[in-house]
Amino acid sequence: EDREWLLRHGAELILEVARLVASMAEYDQETDRFHLRGIMGPDEYHTGYPDNPGAGLDDNAYTNVMA
């Protein structure tokens, strides 16, 4: 049953998450790397970080690993 679900639904879900992350990534020519900016990690109740004017964080380690 798991394999059937993966083929019918899971593969599309994985593809769409990959597309979302790719659309959020910004390429930096100086460092030759991609960055995910303003990302809120798994602690969704934490609304800000010191010295950061907006919500979220650049290159959140958890999100980058999952991406």
Active-site positions read 44
55: CB partners within 8 A, 6+ apart: 38, 40, 47, 48
Residue 56 structure tokens: 């979220």
